[in-house]
């Protein structure tokens, strides 16, 4: 199975020109997450800014109806936004 850092990829949810979104499991604690990963290790600074901005916007909300953003981090030289996988609660 493919991995990105400590995350085991479960499935690819979508892929665009600049980003790919995966459902993944943290191999350290088996928690499931959604990873929005920029496709290039040399990403456009504006794309990195947008990812960080999305994280900040999600963090400003405190609601059980909005996914929780955990962090923006560099994983295996790729920038990624890590958010909760709320769908795993329904399956």
Whether the per-residue pLDDT at 37 is higher than 70: the answer is yes
d(CA 51, CA 49): 5
Confidence of residue 31 (pLDDT cuts 50, 70, 90): very high
Mean local confidence (pLDDT), 6-23: 95
Give percent above pLDDT 90 in the chain.
Answer: 68
What pTM was estimated for this model as a whole?
A: 0.86
Do 44 and 66 form a contact (C-beta atoms < 8 A)? no
User: What is the CATH architecture of 3-89?
Assistant: 2-Layer Sandwich (3.30)
For the segment 68-82, what is each residue's pLDDT rounded down to a tens digit?
A: 899 999 998 999 999
Q: Residue 90 region, left (φ>0) first, then alpha (ψ -120 to 50), else beta?
A: alpha
pLDDT digits 0-9 by tens, 38-63: 998 777 899 999 999 999 999 888 77
What is the C-alpha to C-alpha distance for residues 30 and 27, in angstroms, rounded to an integer? 5
């Amino acid at each position: 199975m493919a991995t990105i850092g400590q995350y085991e990829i479960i499935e690819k949810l979508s892929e665009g020109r600049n980003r790919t979104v995966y459902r993944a499991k943290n191999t350290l604690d088996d928690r499931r997450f959604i990873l929005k990963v920029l496709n290039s290790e040399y990403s456009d600074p504006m794309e990195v800014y947008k990812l960080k901005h999305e994280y900040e916007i999600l963090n400003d909300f405190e609601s059980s109806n909005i996914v929780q953003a955990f962090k923006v981090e560099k994983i295996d030289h790729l920038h990624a936004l890590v958010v909760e996988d709320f769908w795993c609660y329904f399956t």
